[in-house]
Amino acid sequence: MKFAIVFGGASYEHEISIVSAIALKKVIKSELCFIFLSPERDFYAIDIGNMKSNYFAKGDYKKSPKLELTRNGFVKKSFFGSSKIEFDTVINLCHGADGEDGKLASIFEFFGIDFIGPRIEASVMSFNKIYTKQLANMGGLKFLRYVAVNKKDRQKVLTENIVFPIIVKPSRLGSSIGVSVVKNKDELEYALDVAFEFDDDILIEPFIEDVREFNLAGCFAKDFIFSVIEEPQKNEFLDFDKKYKDFSRTETVFKADISEELQDKIKEEFKKIYNLGFAGSLIRCDFFVIGNEICINEINPIPGSMANYLFEDFNSVINDLAENLPKVKKIGVEYKYINEIASAKGKAN
């Protein structure tokens, strides 16, 4: 199995995608090639020796060969002709917009490229946190109550009678970008400004201090494969700087110190969400445990460095998944209706 890691993208998470790709370079034992999606949306074939963050920060990637997307896959063109980039399966590692909002899923499906990553529906439903709440509701999962606010209703929020603390999040961003914990009314206006800087839709949730959070990654390949369950150490909440460093993680973690029973319950909640369209992807779900209830907090359909550090044998997981990707139904077009109408009319028009 040869993987092509597609990373970068026109998104606020462009840089962490680079860090994530560099981390996977060290982790994946299979043959690898790297395809960079620049902020200008050009694809480049990156030599593995150039997989260093400064190569991108300095703009040196522009010296790498540009690729074109065709129905045959990614193609390198030169004066002497064109050659296809050979690989079996893409790993979509573009965190945030482009990668997680459905654009790359659409492009890979359209151009017939096999890929690990969320499909279009799963992308849209997990990228927009308001839709994620609907999805959780459909799947019968518990979730924190929330209020969705559009930018045009910003003033209304300021006059509401709010019970603090709350957490304010842009609806369509990951990696904690634009997220604030708001402890009182004085801090609210600034938090709204920050969140609306990134998205016209935001979410407001109660902020629960000392809530226990558990992360579980997994995928379906013939059967469910689960990672260990981690209880992340946190200082209020992981902000972007901390999460950024998190994307380069490659060392394995220790299991959360919780009962087998609670572990099984968390896995059951994971399955409920995954079964709502996440086939083909390796996702990480973040759960809160509040009293006896397990609430889903977030779905990461392309977790940082594919949450490799949560798995005991990440290489076999990624290979199993690649061999069990969902099949796309082929739709035949027979021009049956046009022919019927044409023959009814007795002429060809």
Instruction: Give whichever of 131 and 237 is closer to a second copy, judged by the CB atom.
Output: 131
Q: If you write DSSP's letter for every residue of 270-312 in order, what string do you get?
A: HHHHHTTT-TT--EEEEEEEETTEEEEEEEESS-GGGGGGG-T
Q: Which DSSP symbol is given to 325?
A: P
Residue type, 317: V
Decide: is 112 part of the binding site for a second copy (CB under 8 A).
yes
Count of residues that bind a second copy according to CB under 8 A? 59
Site string for a second copy, 143-172 (x = CB under 8 A): -----x------------------------
Nearer to a second copy, 16 or 166 (CB): 16
The answer to whether 103 contacts a second copy (rule: CB under 8 A) is yes
DSSP lists the bridge partners of residue 78 as: 81
Among 49, 81, 291, 332, binds a second copy (CB under 8 A): 332
> Binding to a second copy by residue 327, rule CB under 8 A?
no
- Asked whether position 98 contacts a second copy by CB under 8 A, the answer is yes
Distance CA 283, CA 218 (A): 6
The pair of three-digit structure tokens given for residue 147, joined into one six-digit string: 């209020």
Q: Residue 205 interacts with a second copy (CB under 8 A)?
A: no
Piece of 8-16, 220-228, 249-257, 297-305 that binds a second copy (CB under 8 A):
8-16
Q: Whole-number minimum distance, CB 52 to a second copy, in Å? A: 5
For position 83 contacting a second copy by CB under 8 A, the verdict is no
If binding is defined by CB under 8 A, does position 115 make contact with a second copy?
no
The residue within the footprint of a second copy, chosen from 126, 128, 297, 300 (CB under 8 A), is 128
Round to whole Å and give the CA distance between 142 and 139. Answer: 9
Q: Contacting a second copy (CB under 8 A), which of 48, 49, 54, 81?
A: 54
333 part of the interface to a second copy, by CB under 8 A: yes
Binding mask 231-270 for a second copy (x = CB under 8 A): ----------x--x--------------------------
Decide: is 343 part of the binding site for a second copy (CB under 8 A).
no
The residue range among 215-223, 283-291, 304-312, 339-347 that interacts with a second copy, by the rule CB under 8 A, is 339-347
**303 preceded by a cis bond (ω within 30 of 0):** no
For every residue of 194-225, DSSP letters joined together read HHHHH-SEEEEEE--TT-EEEEEEEEEESEEE
How much helix, strand and coil, in percent to the nearest 5, is found in the chain? 35, 25, 40
| Closer CB to a second copy, 163 or 348, in the complex | 348
Selection from 149, 290, 114, 311 nearest residue 217 by Cα: 311
Whether the Cβ atoms of residue 297 and residue 284 lie closer than 8 Å to each other: no
Own/partner pairs, 14-19, CB within 8 angstroms, 24+ separation: 14/39, 14/96, 15/53, 15/244, 16/95, 16/96, 16/175, 16/243, 16/244, 16/247, 16/304, 17/93, 17/94, 17/95, 17/96, 17/99, 18/53, 18/56, 19/53, 19/244, 19/247, 19/248, 19/304, 19/305
Binder among 1, 27, 32, 107 for a second copy (CB under 8 A): 107
Instruction: List residues near a second copy by CB under 8 A.
Output: 10-12, 14-16, 18-19, 39-42, 52-54, 56-57, 68-71, 97-98, 101-107, 109-112, 120-121, 124-125, 128, 130-131, 134, 137-138, 148, 241, 244, 331-333, 335-339, 341-342, 348-349
